[in-house]
Amino acid sequence: MEIILKYFADFTDTQLKQLEALDALYKDWNEKINVISRKDIGSLYERHVLHSLSIAAAYNFDAGNTVLDLGCGGGFPGIPLAIFFPEVQFHMVDSIAKKLKVVEAVANAIGLKNITTQHTRVEAIKDKKFDYVVSRAVAPLKDLWRWSKPIISKNNAQRSEDTPAPGLICLKGGDLALEIQQSGTRPYITSIIDLFPEPYFEEKYILYVPK
């Protein structure tokens, strides 16, 4: 938890309690349903929570925005972002039902009211639009963009100055040159180590593709 407070200072008491509760909750659920690598569970706050919050360090969401977490797994980046942005609605989607069970249990345990879940593949969602799609290490950028583009809203109205246009924001690692080239997109790239100078974040990036 200390590493979170090293980079973020203005949490409310409620947010602090929610963040502090994640450690015990994920350790407990990970014993039942393996949603986090065994070697990573001891580094939950750096490798999962702070990594997720790098999106909040780079980009703002406005109250009332809707965000789809594509392939949310056990809840990253969506749950930390939902804690950070309590006025933003997060829709957590995964094709594996037991992972959504963890998301729902964690959200209920910490009193998160701004999360909904859906057991489906994102390409099956035809009837909803979202301001943003977020994702962490789910698929190549080419696929993420193909799945995301049809469900991202075109509405740019009444956006705060520091809030990005609707689009895809994903967390990626390694050498991305070929993946970006194959995607046919021209993402804005943020090196996470510039936000959080910790060795773990070397060669980890935020990619933002506006619609």
Whether residue 8 is annotated as binding a ligand: the answer is no
**158 phi-psi bin (left φ>0, alpha ψ -120 to 50, beta other):** left
How far, in Å, CA of 166 to CA of 154, rounded?
7
Whether residue 136 is annotated as binding a ligand: the answer is yes
Whether residue 74 is annotated as binding a ligand: the answer is no
Assigned token pair, 162 = 């520091």
ω into 77 cis (within 30 of 0): yes
DSSP annotation of 120 reads S
Whether residue 122 is annotated as binding a ligand: the answer is yes
Whether residue 71 is annotated as binding a ligand: the answer is yes
* Nearest residue to 87 via CA among 49, 114, 119: 114
Give how far the C-alpha of residue 49 lies from the chain's centroid of Cα atoms, to the nearest Å.
9
Residue set of the binding site: 71, 76, 122-123, 136
Binding site for S-adenosyl-L-methionine: what residues are annotated?
Answer: 71, 76, 122-123, 136
